[in-house]
Structure 1
């Protein structure tokens, strides 16, 4: 699997929060845009926002918007934006609302009509609750998207990556590849950990990013 063999629309999830999903999503968007495709990044749920230009805005969303080469309404790119940097379902409850997957589905469908490539970036990992009964994995199934998994390369990454892979299999969510993102510059046995992941996931990463500083 290579970047160019990825499907036109896919979902970027991660082994945890802070593993570099936004960094990876922007890099992939830039790759497809450089090939002349119309590209949009979507962040259905964002927590940790600031009041800018009359609305709540999130830094990850701003990065995705900057990398997009198609003009789209902000409410399609980011249907749910919450001020405190906490779990989405808790932030939604504090705001007096409930995250509804059909709202996200409608926004996603609208984006697919505007762009050749739509890359949807999740929040946290696959089992992050979105409301009282549904998780991020349920959102993937509603959107009918395959998952690209960002593995934050640090101590413990093998366990987190294989747990994520297992959840995808259990929930029958298609897997379209993984990215090795070096988030710990001092990680011991980096190459050995990478090789272990290649063997257990049974495919090499579509992208291997060196350490780039603080991740989002």
Structure 2
């Protein structure tokens, strides 16, 4: 089986798409043929915005994917900007459709990045949470967390969930411009407790190395 990395986060609007694009570029620079998929995107009116970004990015990095359409990147969409459970009216997860698109991508890729929607406990249907999808896809996880006040609690809760589900993962911090207090109010805790603080903007090469060997 090819390598599958599932990019998840502590919540929505943390920077999954931004991180995924940087990872695609970094893995491609290592000589790997990269692929990407976002299984479910909500809030889609005309076309999936995240999916379009990912499509343009991956086409520029893997020439074998030039014929792809955005539907190959985002196989399931809903217009309502809400959790898939709500946006779909509790439509059962079409795992076969997602797996088919991943396997098609893997035919031309060494590694496939899978971008989730929202956080780990976003409900997809009555029986499935986003964390369950990681296991169903046999993927390793990259947890993207924020750097604003509250990130300690948010990060530890998500890490505990991944550990309880026996999902191998690494954690990275996406520090946005307005989150300047991180080094004073949150980072000291992580350093004191022995957690390596990897920042998306500064440590993407190290992150790639860790993911590749996870």
TM superposition score category, shorter chain reference? 0.7 to 0.9
Q: Distance in 1 between matches of 2:191 and 2:4?
A: 24
Give ranges in structure 1 of 5+ residues lacking alignment: 1-6, 52-56, 211-216
- Confirm or deny that 1:154 pairs with 2:144: no
Q: Distance in 2 between matches of 1:91 and 1:160?
A: 24
How much is the aligned-residue C-alpha RMSD, in angstroms?
A: 2.1
**Which residue pairs with 1:141 in the alignment?**
135
- Confirm or deny that 1:181 pairs with 2:171: no
2:87 to 80, 83, 91: 91
Q: Contact between 2:20 and 2:113, CA under 8 Å: does it hold in 1?
A: yes
- Structure number with higher strand proportion: 1
TM-score normalized by the length of structure 2: 0.82
4+ runs deviating over 6 angstroms: none
Q: Distance in 1 between matches of 2:194 and 2:43?
A: 33
TM-score normalized by the length of structure 1: 0.82
**Which residue pairs with 1:193 in the alignment?**
186
Q: Write the deviation string for residues 129-149 of structure 1: whole angstroms up to 9, x where unpaired.
A: 100111011100011111101
Q: Contact between 1:89 and 1:129, CA under 8 Å: does it hold in 2?
A: yes
Q: Distance in 2 between matches of 1:178 and 1:44?
A: 21
| CA gap 1:116/1:185 in 2 versus in 1, 3 angstroms | same
Shift of 1:114: 1.7
- Confirm or deny that 1:43 pairs with 2:32: no
**Which residue pairs with 1:204 in the alignment?**
197
Q: Contact between 2:173 and 2:197, CA under 8 Å: does it hold in 1?
A: no
Write the mapping of 1:39-118 to structure 2, written as runs, cut at 5 A: 39-51=34-46, 57-68=47-58, 69=62, 70-71=65-66, 72-93=68-89, 97-118=91-112
Q: Distance in 1 between matches of 2:146 and 2:82?
A: 20
1:163 match: secondary structure = helix
Q: Distance in 1 between matches of 2:142 and 2:194?
A: 12
2:11 match: secondary structure = coil
**Number of equivalences:** 195
Shift of 1:189: 4.4
Shift of 1:110: 2.1
| CA gap 1:200/1:93 in 2 versus in 1, 3 angstroms | farther
Q: Distance in 2 between matches of 1:100 and 1:199?
A: 43
Shift of 1:38: 1.7
Q: Write the deviation string for residues 145-172 of structure 1: whole angstroms up to 9, x where unpaired.
A: 1110101111101100000000001111
